[in-house]
A and B are shown apart, each in its own frame.
Chain A
């Protein structure tokens, strides 16, 4: 057993007198891998159930119960990890880093809700995502935000998605996980700043419907885009809309588009057309501005990467600007790698970040440009309908629709509950 060991300065003893047996080092095992399959199964079952509840049962109370279950299972029991929101980063990293081994669970959590959103809309947000369910259950006194603020804040989520992809693709870390405002309460532990953020978000959710989902959630952006082309989605009423606008007054997420008033149902005026043309012409300008700003931000984004930060530090130390050293620089010097090699690596990384920053800028530019076009576009609507992108299928509007009440009454009579 006594083989050559680095820095084994003192030979291990032979216990000749007592014959003492050396104890074994303990190694508590991690969570069973088989439980990952359980997680995937629960996700699939919850998504299927949520779909049935939104499209067929149309009962808010049942959807809330499912949300509560998801909150308990994916949130408090599984500590908020693995989650679909964070999986964006793992999938991005797997695409850019061939050495990264993507766990199958993460892939399933990333893809399955999107597939459901493409077919039946955002049922994942409705009652399967623990973050969404938590905020939804906290919403006691909903306040409706002005529309301009709603549209403006929603852009943040697109920027956040862009940045998360940039950092995951370049090895700068997983910012969605690091700044997740709810995981602290799922784990009942965390840093002070993140716990305070968590408390602020939870207090906000009492008045503002799902602040994280609407204004920050990067996965919500993807689900919204998928939902915009979905085959089916939550309908306020399957019967004829009476244009009572109760649903729009009750929706806490500004996710219901109102029917066009009769008086406005005329062809677009020349002024409308001019405005639309102006916005279309603005699109390339916004994209170019995004490209330029993104390129400028590349340098500062790169500082999030360990190698770049270390190279900067070593450069400062070598130049004599700073006299002290850090743990990182000490570790680097002990390793004995030449500084030039580190600098070359850092330069290559900065170049990657500049490129990634430009692409991210183009993405944000496209989003802003298209947003401006969509805002100038006023399609005619015969009735009040849920917005394909924004609706999270919470089923609140069903409860307030007079047509829905009539339908339920009729159904009860059919099965003979009410005479």
Chain B
């Protein structure tokens, strides 16, 4: 029994030392600040998986409007169906399946478009229209008031172009900048 206790002690010390060594090695590289998931808007292909793959019933991904690069167009290709009957707020003319984009007249010929976030499902239909034919001021971002920060983001797993990765929590968004592609 004594011999057994001795070997147990030996194994225990070895395991503790090993664990300490491992922790020490990783701790030097580990960072105190945590990281969060975010979409790279330059990689995103608006496939629509963000709306369905998130573990939340209503996805943590939402469309955001970067007003600084918006053209304030009357014929907004993010707001309207490809061949709209009329340029008005009729539901049959809108691209957004949930009517989450608010169109507001500012001055001739400019209209302001903003996102009603509680309605947005993150499907990216407007992002596609805006990026292909407009300025690309609509893009998808993970909203951190909703994101659960899962250890493995299930949207990142499903993303066909690997556009979602972890970013430092002190810079939790990847907004498009006026300087263009970073």
Contacts and interface: CB of A to CB of B under 8 A. Distances in A.
B135 A31 contact: no
Contacts of B56: 187, 189
Interface string A355-380: 00000000000000000000000000
Interface in B52-71: 55-57, 64-71
B134 interface: yes
B172 interface: yes
B110 A15 contact: yes
A327 interface: yes
B45 A327 contact: yes
B160 A81 contact: no
A107 B162 contact: no
A54 B157 CA distance: 41
B31 A103 contact: yes
A90 interface: yes
Contacts of B134: 7, 9-10
Contacts of B133: 9
A17 B106 CA distance: 9
Given A10-B71, A178-B157, A111 B19 contact: yes
A12 B178 CA distance: 12
A90 B151 contact: yes
Contacts of A79: 148
A105 B145 CA distance: 21
Interface residues of B, number: 71
A118 B107 contact: no
Nearest to B38: A30
Interface string A17-33: 11010111111111101
Contacts of A178: 152, 154, 157
Contact of A101 (B35, B150, B173): B35
Contacts of A142: none
A174 interface: yes
A267 B69 CA distance: 86
A83 B16 CA distance: 21
B71 to A, nearest CB: 3
A81 B12 CA distance: 29
From B26, B29, B47, name the one whose CB has the most chain A CB atoms within 10 angstroms.
Answer: B26
Contacts of A111: 19, 22-23
Contacts of B47: 327, 331
Contacts of A105: 34
A173 B71 CA distance: 40
From B33, B45, B151, B175, name the one whose CB has the most chain A CB atoms within 10 angstroms.
Answer: B151
A307 B27 CA distance: 30
B67 A24 contact: yes
Nearest to B58: A189
A306 interface: yes
B71 A3 contact: no
A102 interface: yes
Interface in A24-45: 24-31, 33, 36
From A5, A81, A107, A177, name the one whose CB has the most chain B CB atoms within 10 angstroms.
Answer: A5
A332 B144 CA distance: 29
Given A13-B110, A229-B8, A101 B19 contact: no
B15 A174 contact: no
A30 B146 CA distance: 9
B72 interface: yes
B91 interface: no
Contacts of B30: 94, 101-104, 106-107
A326 interface: yes
Interface string A280-310: 0000000000000000000000000010000
A226 B175 CA distance: 46
A268 interface: no
Interface string B5-22: 000110110011001001
B166 A101 contact: yes
A13 B175 CA distance: 20
B15 A5 contact: no
16 contacts: A4-B180, A6-B181, A9-B71, A20-B106, A24-B67, A26-B64, A89-B151, A98-B29, A106-B30, A114-B19, A118-B12, A174-B151, A177-B150, A177-B152, A187-B148, A330-B45
Top 3 closest A-B pairs, CB basis?
A: A10-B71, A328-B160, A28-B145
